[in-house]
């Protein structure tokens, strides 16, 4: 192979890598990205049941209920407009409490409830997940 | 006074950096006086390193003395803290870590000025100039936007403490390790810029750059491995990788550095891949900057809690744009003048390294897109987050292909080889994979697709990585060959650990009263007691768990719920028992009114291989670095003896 040709081949391969990475990423994003839902989004256009998504909002006051097995809890996530009942089995994060922000990872069920496999709440009292802040903001603006 | 001395040293260091740019410019331009300027550049770089190190030493000093008239100490320290965390408090925050960044940068520049003998003088001057230019941005950032030595008046009686999550020996040394890696890549970047400026790209340049890339890569490897283990035992969720933006921030430079390490070897050994290597040097440093930006701007949501300040974020973003944009511009305008290097056949060591580089680039691209896409989406008004399913689905297949190339590469000859010879040499690794597949089919059919594939590929790679040592006189084998074999073996070991963890982990979660037992994997764990305990700056509820495997001896596990008063936080301290074939991992949850305690238990077979493999990879790097430096020293001595 002539030097010039080799250079062209290498450049072409580099392009293939870049395009390949972009294509892979886009196809992955279409199928697998755990999209973020606020309760109002879920009411408006519910994601298909069973798909891995994140649900974010505030834990509604007085909604936390502990099941008899000691590790399952039920609570309601709200964005001030709509609300979704959530079931979670596991150790809740330290700062998980009523009237504070939470992001739940899991999936929606056919009846519109949510089964969480993981809860995210930060180790900082002032912290509100940006997604939640954004979702609250959106719902509030929609109300007006 | 000490804080003022530190600030003064910082200003002087910044002035030196400015001076260094001027000297380097005059020296590299090649005028009549340039030898004088070249010597001056080395001296100035040395002075800059000493001054920056002085400033950093002053910062450590005010932290060690708990000088509460310095704002940064108030915000990040407390007089009652153990000394180690007082010291690590100096860099466990935004300002301090930026000062550490620029200090390592300046000291690395001084080291180049002091020790670099291989490069042509003009290239060296251009390199030192580029290094100082990078430094200037950070000096400006520190002096104008985040002064670490700012005083507070009146001084409070005591500080606010350090985020308890950061009070851990692992994390005390974690950021410096990563920064050494980042900054090592900045030196490689400066070399590339210097080489482009004076149009001098060849094997000598690659040999000069290689130790820096290697050193940076070793630090990044150690940093990522240690960070992963820290997240695993400190966050108490039993996972070792979250695909969190902060984790990706360290993974991306590592991927780029790994590609660069392999391509710089082609350039040093065979004088091929000239433009490609320069490009990778630019990309690798860009990834360090992107990493710094992601971690320090707080622009992305992360499970790791760090300071959030949009103004500083934009400052780093501007620096990022200037450096990367400038380097890409220089690359675009100059790369045409870089002469074509040596050519090679596709089936050859170089060919395999090109494929390795492409696959690494694809993984890097995917991780970059996955990490930044939420940001872009946010800018367009859409809230979304991307999690592990995306990254696993997209990167694992590419990584498995990369494993095959990693086996094939070292078995190929430089320049030209044949498919047939390669096929013959691949027989042993292939047989190992088949054997692993059969064992898994017999004993672990239900482990899941990825874990099974991972173990099969790991078995082939483990055997394949050792083949380059077979048939050699092992005592006379050069250290860098050992290094390569051990690093590749480390990759196999890590992959085996990841596969075993995701395929065979057993989990139990329940709330039980004292005296009751749970079974997880081969263990029976009894909750013996829960009681209070205290540490230097925390109090805790501690559970005593009696664990027993079959008829074996009973041993204790003590997971805790810790409460810190400064600042008010609580953390969950997992208890981990390590055995040769895995780890038993216990977390204490909340207690209930009925006297039951939440317990979460995991039995994780062979999970330790993940970090053991990381250690082997780093060890391979160290052997390679030592071997190369040793060899060069001997060669130089021989040359001096001849004269």
pLDDT, tens digit, 9 for 90 and up, residues B163-189: 676 677 777 788 889 889 998 999 999
For residues B389 and B374, what is the distance between their CA atoms, to the nearest angstrom? 15
Band (pLDDT 50/70/90 cuts) for residue B198 is confident
Greater pLDDT, B245 or B181: B181
The answer to whether B57 faces chain A, any CB pair under 8 Å, is no
Residue A43 lies in a domain: yes
Residue A76 lies in a domain: yes
Is A123 assigned a ligand-binding role in the annotation? yes
> Between B163, B394, B572, which is nearest A24 by CB?
B394
Residue A41 lies in a domain: yes
- Residues of chain B neighbouring A25 (CB-CB closer than 8 A): 365-366, 369-370, 373, 394
Mutation choice for A interface testing from B234, B341, B346, B387 by most A CBs within 10 A = B387
> Which of A85-99, B12-26, B576-590 shows the lowest mean pLDDT across its residues?
A85-99
> Which of A108-112, A122-126, B581-585, B609-613 shows the lowest mean pLDDT across its residues?
A122-126
Greater pLDDT, B294 or B531: B531
For residues B590 and B508, what is the distance between their CA atoms, to the nearest angstrom? 15
Measured from the Cβ of residue A137, the count of other Cβ atoms closer than 10 Å reads 13
Residue with tokens 């755990």: A34
Given a cut of 90, is residue B453 above it in pLDDT?
yes
Measured from the Cβ of residue B54, the count of other Cβ atoms closer than 10 Å reads 18
Given a cut of 80, is residue B109 above it in pLDDT?
yes
Q: What is the pLDDT of residues B531-571, one digit of tens each?
A: 999 988 789 999 999 999 989 999 999 999 988 876 677 78
Alpha carbon dihedral B37, B42, B43, B49, in 10-degree steps, equals 140
Is A127 assigned a ligand-binding role in the annotation? yes
pLDDT for res A130: 46
Interface contacts (A, B; CB < 8 Å): 140
Burial of B337 (0-12, 13-18, 19+ CB in 10 A): exposed
Band (pLDDT 50/70/90 cuts) for residue B306 is very low
Residue with tokens 């860098």: B480
Q: What is the pLDDT of residues B224-233, one digit of tens each?
A: 999 899 889 8
The number of residues in chain A equals 144
Tell me which residue range forms the domain holding A73. 34-121
Band (pLDDT 50/70/90 cuts) for residue B643 is low
Contacts of B80 (CB under 8 A, 6+ apart): B536, B537, B566
CB B387 within 8 A of CB A52: yes
pLDDT for res B384: 66
- Chain-wide mean pLDDT for chain B? 88
For residues B160 and B485, what is the distance between their CA atoms, to the nearest angstrom? 49
- Residues of chain A neighbouring B572 (CB-CB closer than 8 A): 91, 94
The answer to whether B398 faces chain A, any CB pair under 8 Å, is yes
Note the maximum CA span of chain A. Answer: 76
Residue A23 lies in a domain: no
Contacts of B481 (CB under 8 A, 6+ apart): B468, B469, B472
CATH number for the domain spanning A58: value is 2.40.50.140
Band (pLDDT 50/70/90 cuts) for residue A140 is very low
What does the DSSP 8-state code read for residue B151? B
Report CB contact under 8 Å: A14, B276: yes
Alpha carbon dihedral B84, B172, B91, B307, in 10-degree steps, equals -120
Report CB contact under 8 Å: B383, A131: yes
pLDDT for res B304: 44
Given a cut of 60, is residue B574 above it in pLDDT?
yes
What would the mean pLDDT of B249-261 be, rounded to a whole number?
A: 95
pLDDT for res B389: 79
pLDDT for res B297: 64
Note the maximum CA span of chain B. Answer: 88
Greater pLDDT, B547 or A102: B547
Given a cut of 50, is residue B302 above it in pLDDT?
no
Contacts of B626 (CB under 8 A, 6+ apart): B479
Residue A53 lies in a domain: yes
> Which of B30-39, B256-265, B284-293 shows the lowest mean pLDDT across its residues?
B30-39
Report CB contact under 8 Å: B387, A135: no
What would the mean pLDDT of A41-67 be, rounded to a whole number?
A: 84
pLDDT for res B355: 92
What would the mean pLDDT of B399-417 be, rounded to a whole number?
A: 92
Compute φ and ψ for B601, nearest 5 degrees.
Answer: -125, 140
Q: What is the pLDDT of residues B134-170, one digit of tens each?
A: 999 999 989 988 899 988 888 888 887 766 766 777 7
Contacts of B78 (CB under 8 A, 6+ apart): B66, B158, B159, B160, B161, B162, B537, B566
Given a cut of 80, is residue B3 above it in pLDDT?
yes
- Residues of chain A neighbouring B275 (CB-CB closer than 8 A): 7
Band (pLDDT 50/70/90 cuts) for residue A119 is confident
pLDDT for res A127: 40
A111/chain B closest Cα distance in angstroms: 23
Residue A24 lies in a domain: no
Report CB contact under 8 Å: A123, B163: yes
Given a cut of 50, is residue A45 above it in pLDDT?
yes
Given a cut of 80, is residue B612 above it in pLDDT?
yes
Report CB contact under 8 Å: B590, A66: no
Band (pLDDT 50/70/90 cuts) for residue B424 is very high
Q: What is the pLDDT of residues B332-372, one digit of tens each?
A: 888 887 777 777 888 899 899 999 999 999 999 999 998 88
Residue A94 lies in a domain: yes
> Could you tell me what percent of chain B has a pLDDT over 70?
95
pLDDT for res B197: 86
Angstrom distances, CA of residue B575 to CA of B272, B319, B500: 51, 43, 21
> Could you tell me what percent of chain B has a pLDDT over 90?
53
pLDDT for res A137: 39
Handedness of CA B634, B638, B639, B643 (dihedral sign): positive
Report CB contact under 8 Å: B387, A52: yes
Task: Quote the number of domains for chain A.
Answer: 1
pLDDT for res B166: 67
The top-scoring range by mean pLDDT among B78-87, B232-241, B340-349, B437-446 is B437-446
Given a cut of 50, is residue A27 above it in pLDDT?
yes
Find, among B308, B240, B98, the residue nearest to B585 by Cα.
B240
Residue A143 lies in a domain: no
For residues B520 and B605, what is the distance between their CA atoms, to the nearest angstrom? 12
ipTM, two decimals, is 0.76
pLDDT for res B169: 76
Greater pLDDT, B12 or A38: B12
pLDDT for res B436: 95
Buried b (16+ CB within 10 A) or exposed e, B444-455: eeebeebbbbbb
Cα atoms in the 13 Å half-sphere on the side-chain side of B103? 22
């Amino acid at each position: 192979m002539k030097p010039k040709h080799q250079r062209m081949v290498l450049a072409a391969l580099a392009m293939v890598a870049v395009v390949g990475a972009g294509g892979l990423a886009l196809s992955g994003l279409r199928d697998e990205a755990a999209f973020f839902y606020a309760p109002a989004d879920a009411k408006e256009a519910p994601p298909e049941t069973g798909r891995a998504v994140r649900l974010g909002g505030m834990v509604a006051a007085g909604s936390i209920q502990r099941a008899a097995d000691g590790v399952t809890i039920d609570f309601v996530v709200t964005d001030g407009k709509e609300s979704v009942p959530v079931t979670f089995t596991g150790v809740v994060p330290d700062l998980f409490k009523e009237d504070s922000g939470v992001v739940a990872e899991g999936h929606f069920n056919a009846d519109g409830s949510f089964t969480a496999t993981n809860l995210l709440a930060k180790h900082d009292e002032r912290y509100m997940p940006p997604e939640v802040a954004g979702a609250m903001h959106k719902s509030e603006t929609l109300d007006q | 006074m000490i804080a003022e001395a530190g600030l003064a040293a910082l200003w002087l260091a910044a002035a030196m950096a400015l001076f260094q740019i001027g000297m380097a410019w005059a020296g590299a331009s090649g005028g009549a006086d340039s030898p004088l300027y070249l010597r001056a550049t080395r001296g100035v770089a040395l002075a800059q390193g000493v001054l920056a190190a002085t400033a950093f030493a002053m910062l450590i000093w005010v932290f060690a003395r708990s000088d509460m008239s310095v704002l940064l100490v108030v915000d990040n320290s407390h007089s009652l803290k153990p000394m180690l965390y007082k010291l690590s408090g100096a860099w466990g925050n935004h300002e301090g870590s930026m000062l550490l960044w620029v200090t390592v940068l300046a000291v690395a520049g001084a080291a180049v000025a002091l020790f670099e003998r291989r490069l042509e003088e003009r290239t060296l001057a251009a390199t030192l100039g580029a290094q100082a230019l990078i430094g200037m941005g950070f000096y400006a950032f520190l002096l104008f936007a985040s002064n670490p030595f700012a005083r507070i008046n009146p001084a409070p009686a005591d500080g606010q403490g350090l985020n308890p999550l950061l009070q851990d020996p692992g994390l005390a040394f974690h950021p410096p390790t990563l920064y050494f890696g980042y900054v090592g890549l900045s030196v490689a970047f400066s070399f590339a810029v210097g080489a482009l400026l004076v149009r001098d790209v060849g094997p000598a340049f690659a040999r000069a750059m290689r130790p820096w890339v290697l050193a940076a890569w070793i630090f990044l490897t150690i940093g990522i491995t240690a960070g992963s283990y820290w997240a695993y035992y400190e966050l108490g969720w039993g996972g070792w990788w979250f695909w969190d933006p902060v984790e990706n921030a360290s993974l991306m430079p590592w991927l780029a550095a790994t590609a660069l390490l392999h391509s710089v070897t082609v350039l040093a050994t065979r004088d091929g891949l000239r433009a490609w290597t320069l490009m990778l040097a630019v990309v690798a440093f860009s990834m360090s900057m992107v990493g710094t930006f992601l971690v320090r701007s707080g622009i992305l949501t992360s499970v790791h809690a760090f300071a959030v300040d949009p103004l500083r974020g934009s400052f780093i973003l501007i620096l990022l744009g200037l450096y990367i944009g400038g380097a890409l511009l220089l690359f675009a305008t100059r790369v045409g003048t870089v002469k074509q290097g040596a050519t090679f056949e596709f089936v050859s060591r170089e060919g395999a390294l090109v494929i390795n580089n492409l696959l690494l680039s694809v993984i890097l691209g995917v991780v970059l897109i996955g990490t930044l896409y939420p940001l872009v989406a946010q800018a367009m008004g859409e809230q979304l987050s991307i999690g592990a399913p995306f990254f696993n689905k997209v990167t694992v297949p590419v990584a498995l292909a990369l494993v095959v190339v990693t086996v094939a590469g070292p078995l190929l000859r430089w320049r030209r080889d044949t498919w047939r010879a390669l096929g013959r040499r691949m027989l042993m690794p292939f047989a190992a994979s088949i054997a692993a597949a059969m064992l898994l089919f017999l004993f672990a059919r239900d482990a899941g697709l990825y874990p099974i594939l991972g173990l099969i590929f790991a078995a082939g790679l483990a055997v394949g990585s050792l083949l380059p040592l077979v048939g050699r006189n092992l005592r006379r084998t050069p250290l860098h060959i050992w290094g390569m074999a051990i690093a590749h073996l480390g990759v196999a070991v890590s992959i085996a650990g990841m596969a075993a963890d995701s395929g065979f982990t057993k989990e139990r979660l329940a709330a039980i009263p004292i005296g009751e037992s749970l079974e997880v994997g081969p263990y029976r764990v009894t909750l013996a007691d829960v009681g209070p305990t205290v540490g230097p700056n925390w109090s805790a509820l501690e559970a005593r768990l009696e664990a027993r495997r079959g008829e074996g001896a009973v041993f204790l596990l003590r997971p805790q719920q810790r409460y810190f008063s400064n600042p008010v936080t609580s953390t969950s301290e997992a208890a981990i028992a390590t055995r040769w074939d895995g780890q038993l991992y216990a977390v204490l949850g909340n207690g209930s009114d009925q006297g039951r305690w939440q317990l979460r238990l995991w039995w994780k077979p062979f999970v330790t291989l993940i970090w053991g493999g990381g250690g082997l990879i780093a060890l391979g790097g160290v052997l390679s670095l030592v071997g190369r430096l040793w060899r060069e020293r001997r060669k130089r001595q021989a040359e001096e003896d001849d004269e």
